[in-house]
């Protein structure tokens, strides 16, 4: 059974604006949840080939990891890959689509590796889905405050 963490949210912001603001790494520290702290990355829009460093986890139990941007499809998708090959690797995509003048966003991350198998698979799926929901909610609050 595959482990796929998901979250969805619709925001009242035009699609091109949502995508531009979401992919602007220089603003991530303004809206990313406490469990996902940006450390280093480009002071611009993310591009294929970029590497971003983040801390993931609760304070005192954080893991520093690198996100490698593997897909940027303007106004459609941002995707990065991270993890330890063979142990746990996630390929995290954010999908964007127009929804009645706003933007529907879907976060989807399939995981592979030994840790993505039972008995840990359900823990990873719940934890990552919760984090994805926090990312989308933080972004939604951020862009609402910019209007």
Structural domains for the chain? 3-146 (3.30.530.20)
The pLDDT value given to residue 60:
85
What is the gyration radius of the CA atoms in the chain, in angstroms? Answer: 15
pLDDT tens sequence for the chain (147 residues): 479 999 999 999 999 999 999 999 999 999 999 999 999 999 999 999 999 999 998 888 899 999 999 999 999 999 999 999 999 999 999 999 999 989 999 999 999 999 898 888 999 999 999 999 999 999 999 998 875
The pLDDT value given to residue 10:
96
**Secondary structure of 26-93 in the HEC alphabet?**
HHHHHHCCCCEEEEECCCCECCCCCEEEEEECCCCCCEEEEEEEEEEECCCEEEEEEEECCCEEEEEE
């Amino acid at each position: 059974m595959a482990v796929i963490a998901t979250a969805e949210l619709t925001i009242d912001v035009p699609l091109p604006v949502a995508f531009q603001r979401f992919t602007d790494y220089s603003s991530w520290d303004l809206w990313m949840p406490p469990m996902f702290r940006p450390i280093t990355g480009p002071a611009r829009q993310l591009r294929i080939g970029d590497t971003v460093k983040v801390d993931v986890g609760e304070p005192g139990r954080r893991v520093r990891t690198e996100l490698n941007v593997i897909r940027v499809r303007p106004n459609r998708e941002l995707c990065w890959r991270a993890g330890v090959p063979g142990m746990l690797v996630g390929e995290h995509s954010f999908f964007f689509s127009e929804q009645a003048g706003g933007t529907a966003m879907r976060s989807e991350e399939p995981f592979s590796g030994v840790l993505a198998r039972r008995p840990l698979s359900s823990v990873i799926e719940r934890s990552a889905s919760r984090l994805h929901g926090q990312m989308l909610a933080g972004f939604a609050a951020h862009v609402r405050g910019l209007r």
